[in-house]
Amino acid sequence: MNIAIVHGQSHKGSTWHIAEALAEKVGGDVTSFMLPRDFSDFCVGCNQCFMKGEAYCPHFEQLAPMTKALDEADLIILASPVYVYHATGAMKAFLDHYAYRWMLHRPETKMFFKQAAVISTAAGGGTRSANKDMADSLAFWGISKIEKLGFNVRAVNWASVPPERKVKIAAQIDKAARRIQKRAGRVTPSFKTKAMFNLMRRISRGGLTETDKAYWNQQGWSGKGRPWKASKNQ
């Protein structure tokens, strides 16, 4: 299994350890990125990705290695510590660059056959909202099998996490890994994902921009074609 991890921070704290542990339990070839170390640009709101295509984004080349890893992965892991009850600004800035891939615009067919996991940790609360920040993008990319793992570690670093809490975290990691392994190679979009795509199709009428419309026509989605009817290797 190919696994791509995007860490929403550049230090190896609790979130980093848990995400890497999940990948190890699942097993496979792992490609990891850390933000903002590996990508630090903010979306400038130029709309070029929407109007002309993603290649016109001023950060396209810098983002290309991460895009390639996401597209080749069977499992995508997005991990972020909680900052003021949400995912980190670095994670948000990264996800902002993929707005063109939301179902309303030009979703990538491969995403409908992938699994994902979102992981967040906090000394106190906020893991639910942080996970939602990340899961929203994954869902609108077309991924329906998303594990959501939030941990109140009651510590500011991994070394300070109480041993008994680490045992409980390990147990949850094991359960999530088994679910992911069980679905490996057999992922299909859920009813909710299909319904969301069809709703976006009706709203956009085959794409909001000329670039979107050309893409939808090329994929056959303006007619009877659907992403889940294509090969996952497309």
Are 25 and 174 spatial neighbours (Cβ–Cβ below 8 Å)? Answer: yes
Q: What pLDDT was estimated at residue 158?
A: 95
Closest CA to 121 of 2, 3, 22, 42: 22
Q: CA-to-CA distance for 27 and 196, rounded, in angstroms?
A: 31
Q: How far is CA 72 from the centre of its chain?
A: 13
Q: CA-to-CA distance for 119 and 15, rounded, in angstroms?
A: 7
Q: What pLDDT was estimated at residue 233?
A: 67
Q: What pLDDT was estimated at residue 208?
A: 87
Order of strands, sheet of 115-122, starting from the edge strand that comes earlier in the sequence: 29-34, 2-7, 75-81, 115-122, 145-152
Q: What pLDDT was estimated at residue 30?
A: 98
Domains by residue range for the chain, with CATH? 2-229 (3.40.50.360)
For residue 145, give every residue at least 6 positions away whose Cβ sits within 8 Å of its Cβ, in sequence order, or none: 114, 115, 116, 183, 187, 190
Angle of helix 163-183 relative to helix 14-26, nearest 10 degrees, comes to: 40
Closest CA to 230 of 112, 151, 130, 135: 112
Instruction: Give me the torsion for CA of 81, 84, 10, 139, rounded to 10°.
Output: 60
Tokens of 204: 């956009």
| Mean pLDDT for back-to-back runs of 10 residues, the chain (234 residues) | 97 97 98 98 97 97 98 98 97 98 96 98 96 98 98 93 96 98 96 95 85 94 91 66
Q: Alpha helix locations (H) across the chain?
A: 14-26, 48-51, 60-72, 89-96, 127-141, 163-183, 191-204, 210-219
> Quick one: residue 162, left, alpha or beta (phi over 0 = left, psi -120 to 50 = alpha)?
beta
Are 99 and 49 spatial neighbours (Cβ–Cβ below 8 Å)? Answer: yes
Q: CA-to-CA distance for 101 and 57, rounded, in angstroms?
A: 13
DSSP 223: T
pTM, to two decimals: 0.96
